A = this chain, B = another copy of it.
Amino acid sequence: MTPYCELSKEELLALKEELTAQYEDAKGKGLKLDMSRGKPSGEQLDMTMPMMDIFNGHCDMTDEQGVDTRNYGCLEGILGARRLLGEMLGVDPEHVLVFGTASLNVMYDSISRSVTHGVMGSTPWCRLDKVKFLCPAPGYDRHFSITEHFGIEMITIPMGEEGPDMDMVEEYVKDPAVKGIWCVPMYTNPLGITYSEEVCRRMANLSPAAEDFRIYWDNAYCVHHLYDDRQDTLPELLSMCRANGKEDMVLEFASTSKISFAGAGISCIAASKANLEWVKKSMTIQIISHDKINQLRHVRFFKNLDGIKEHMRKHAAIMRPKFELVLDTLERELGGLGIGSWTKPLGGYFISFDSMDGCAKAIVNKCKEAGVTLTGAGATFPYKNDPRDCNIRIAPSYPTLDELKQTGELFVLCVKLVSVEKLLETK
C-alpha cells in the first residue's frame, strides 16, 4: 500500500474520481443505520430474558434481611444488591449504595448536589465564582454534557495509552477551583484502553487544593471483556485511596445497564462512608427508596460475581465478532495508507478512530449522507470541540454483523474520500 501522502496530485485526482463513483454507488443503496450510541443489540438483551421469569408464580419477594422489596423503605438498597455490585467493583457492601436504573443519573445528581449543597460541608459550588473539571479526552460525551449543563469550566486532559496525562492532572489539581475529574478507567469510552497501574497509583495519590475535589470514577465496563484469555485489569481505586489516607477523594459509579437491560438495570455508587452519609442526606429527601423489586430480580438472577462473569461471556460471544469485523475492515482497507489510526480494545463498547487532522466532521457527514449515523465528530471532547477534528467513536454493538459489514465498508470509503480531498487542498 502506498501511503496517500506520497501520491501525486494526478494520482489523488484519479483516486478521488474512483472513490466518488463508489460513494455515489453506496448512497444509492439506501442504507439506514444508527451507530451513534453504545447500545446493546437485541441478541444481547435476549440473554437476560430469563430474568423476567424470576418472580413467577407469586414467589416470596422478601430479601435475605426480611425486607419486603415491594414496599417502601431500605434507602441504601437491599443488602444482596449492595453485595452484588460491590463484588463487581471489588468493594465491600457497606461502601455501596444502590440506586435506580442509571448510573448517569447518579452522577448527574452528584454534581447537582455539589452545586446546591457542596460536598461534605464545603461551600456549594453555586456560590463560587468559578468551578473547573478535568476532562480526559477523548472521553464520554455524556459526562461532559453534565458539567457543561452546570456551567462548570472543562479543561481537556490528553489521553495517552495508559490513561490521562497525569503530569497535567497533578498540576491542575493545585488550583482550588478544580473540583473533579471525569474518568472511565476501564475499556474507556471511546478509546477502549484501561488505565495503567501507575496512572491509578498517581490518581490515588493526588493532593488537590480543593477539599471537595473528587475523582468521578465511572467504572462502566468493569466486566465487559471481549476475550477469556486476554483481559485488561484495573486496580481498585477506593482501597488505594484509603491506603493513602485519602479515601474520601473518589466516587465510583457502575450499573448493569450493559449487563442486564439498558435502561432497566440497577446502578450504584461506591465510596467512603463519609461520602455515602453525605449522599444519603440529600437522597433521603429525594426519594423514599429505589426500585428494590428490580434489585432483588438482579440478585436472584445473577447470584454473585461469577454469575455476572458467566453472563458477560455470552455477551462477549456476540460482541467479539463485531469488534473483529470492524477491526479487520479497518486494517484491510486502511492499513498502510497513513490516513487513520485506531484502537484495538480488549473490551468495552467502542473503537476509537483518529483520522487525519481536520477530517472527522467531514467523514461523519459523508457517512450520514449515505445513511449511516455515527456519533457526532467532536462529541468525545469537552464542548464537542475536538481541536484537531480527528476523533471518531465507532460503536459496533447494536448493528447485526451484516449491517456492520456494510457500515464498515461505507466508513472506510468515506475516510479515503475525505482524506484524498484533504490532501488535494494542499497540492
Chain A residues packing against B (C-beta within 8 Å): 37, 39-40, 42, 45-46, 48-50, 52-53, 55-58, 61, 68-73, 100-102, 104-105, 108-109, 112, 115-117, 124, 126-127, 142, 145-146, 149-150, 257, 261-264, 282, 285-294
Contact = CB atoms under 8 A, between A and B. Distances in A.
Contact of A286 (B105, B117, B257): B105
Contact of A282 (B55, B117, B149, B286): B149
A257 B124 CA distance: 33
A149 B280 CA distance: 13
The residue in A104, A105, A264, A294 that gathers the most chain B C-beta atoms within 10 A of its C-beta is A264
A102 B288 contact: yes
Given A39-B73, A53-B55, 16 more contacts: A39-B71, A39-B72, A45-B71, A53-B58, A69-B264, A70-B263, A70-B264, A72-B263, A100-B290, A116-B126, A124-B126, A261-B293, A263-B289, A263-B290, A263-B291, A291-B294
A286 B100 contact: no
Contact of A262 (B56, B70, B101): B70
Contacts of A42: 68, 70-71
Nearest to A289: B263
Contacts of A39: 71-73
Contacts of A58: 46, 49-50, 52-53
Contacts of A289: 263
A69 B37 CA distance: 16
A293 B57 CA distance: 19
A275 B112 CA distance: 20
A68 B52 CA distance: 15
Contact of A101 (B124, B257, B290): B290
